[in-house]
């Protein structure tokens, strides 16, 4: 009977040791008694620790990594300030206002190392905390690789958004070959103001944002703005899809390709953009494709034209050369090719050649200033 009691006691001790997140102890009496985390979304993430030893504890460090796409594991370290003592309760707060924020639901893995005056050292097992926006009571809906979170609006509201998301993925796959490689989470805030309240130092015009390396989207959609919301969500979702497909350590996509695919994912170009594009063409005000490779102008009229033109260029490539070529272009960029080299490999022309062919499809000649940088054979081809 005594043997059975001892055996069961040993089993219970082993089980408790296995499930305890802070059961870390070194020889000499040094032990971590407790660890904790506390979130104040979106500004702060706090970590706490309680440790004890037979002698003074002299060094405590927090190590943490953020879950996101990366080509190298990046571990950050915080050296905790405290007065040496045999028992220590300490904490450290990650102030997002100094470093930039994290999206809702971002994961952070962390562990502690503790040393005492005798040189004993203990390291806790890694734990994970999710940086959730707990200010709202979220509901969720999952289909395939997409999970939608929302707190305002009924189930039909969420279902319509999910249908739009799936249609976007189907459209991208059919027309460009691009598809999600990893799951994505979409957080639907009640409106733009609520969205901006979830960001660190937001721009006043921010209505939606894709955190591409985190696989997350945050967007403000009021139930009465559902039509706008579906297009805006499709736009941001396309950014995630394209980023996953082309992520590489060498180069970013040209802006016309990145934004053009996002505009294309929304569906047909809206009438306002069509009018802007037609007016620019009629007045000789089209922007060259090479210029559209850089970040768009902050001027509203030029910015709108840049988005409209980018859609038009993507439509020209997909309609004229098909899905397989666009898919190959994305894969070529993933391999790290430069802008001109990627186009030449897949389509047989560089950005100037694309500019000339696209303008020709709109019955627009290439201006002399843009011809200056083109090969002679392309100048001749575009003017005949």
**Following DSSP, what letter does each residue of 69-95 receive, concatenated?**
--SS---EEEE-----EEEEEEEEEEE
pLDDT of residue 378: 38
Domains of the chain: 23-131 (2.60.40.10), 136-247 (3.40.30.160), 249-384 (no CATH)
pLDDT of residue 13: 39
CA distance 209 to 103: 10
* Angle (CA) 359 363 367, round 5°: 55
CA distance 202 to 41: 14
Contacts of 372 (CB under 8 A, 6+ apart): none
Asked whether residue 290 carries a pLDDT value surpassing 70, the answer given is yes
pLDDT of residue 204: 77
Q: What is the mean pLDDT of residues 51-63?
A: 98
Lowest mean pLDDT among 24-38, 77-91, 339-353: 24-38
Whole-model pTM: value is: 0.87
Asked whether residue 288 carries a pLDDT value surpassing 80, the answer given is yes
Lowest mean pLDDT among 9-23, 314-328, 333-347: 9-23
pLDDT of residue 33: 98
Neighbours of 146 (CB within 10 A): 21
Asked whether residue 1 carries a pLDDT value surpassing 70, the answer given is no
pLDDT digits (tens, 9 = 90+) for 199-250: 998 887 889 999 999 999 999 999 999 999 999 999 999 999 999 999 999 9
C-alpha 153, offset from chain centre? 25
CA distance 347 to 357: 11
Mean of all residue pLDDT scores within the chain = 91
């Amino acid at each position: 009977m005594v043997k059975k009691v001892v055996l069961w006691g040993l089993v219970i001790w082993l089980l408790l040791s296995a499930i305890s997140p802070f059961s870390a102890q070194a020889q000499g009496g040094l032990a971590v008694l407790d660890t904790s985390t506390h979130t104040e979304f979106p500004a702060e993430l706090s970590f706490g620790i309680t440790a004890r030893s037979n002698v003074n504890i002299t060094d405590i460090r927090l190590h943490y990594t953020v879950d996101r796409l990366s080509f190298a594991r990046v571990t950050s370290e915080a050296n905790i300030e405290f007065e040496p003592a045999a028992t220590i309760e300490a904490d450290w707060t990650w102030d997002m206002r100094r470093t930039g924020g994290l999206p809702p639901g971002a994961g952070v893995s962390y562990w502690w190392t503790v040393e005492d005056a005798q040189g004993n050292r203990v390291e806790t097992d890694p734990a994970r905390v999710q940086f959730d926006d707990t200010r709202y009571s979220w509901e969720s809906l999952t289909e395939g690789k997409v999970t939608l979170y929302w707190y305002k609006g009924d189930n039909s509201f969420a279902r319509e958004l999910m249908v739009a998301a799936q249609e976007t993925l189907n459209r991208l796959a059919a027309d460009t070959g691009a598809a999600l490689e990893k799951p994505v989470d979409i957080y639907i805030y009640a409106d733009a103001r609520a969205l901006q309240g979830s960001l660190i130092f937001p721009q006043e015009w921010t209505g939606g944002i894709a955190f591409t390396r985190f696989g997350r989207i945050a967007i403000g959609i009021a139930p009465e703005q559902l039509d706008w919301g579906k297009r805006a969500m499709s736009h941001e979702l396309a950014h995630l899809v394209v980023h996953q497909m082309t992520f590489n350590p060498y180069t970013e996509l040209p802006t016309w390709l990145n934004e053009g695919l996002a505009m294309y994912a929304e569906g047909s170009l809206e009438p306002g953009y069509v009018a802007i594009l037609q007016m620019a063409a009629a007045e000789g005000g089209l922007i060259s494709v090479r210029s559209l490779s850089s970040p768009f102008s902050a001027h509203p009229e030029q910015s709108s034209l840049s988005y409209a033109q980018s859609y038009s260029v993507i439509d020209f490539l997909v309609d004229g050369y098909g899905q397989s070529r666009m898919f190959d272009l994305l894969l070529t960029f993933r391999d790290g090719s430069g802008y001109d080299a990627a186009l030449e490999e897949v389509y047989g022309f560089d950005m100037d050649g694309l500019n000339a062919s696209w303008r020709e499809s709109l019955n627009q000649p290439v201006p002399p200033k843009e011809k200056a940088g083109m090969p002679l054979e392309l100048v001749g081809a575009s003017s005949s």
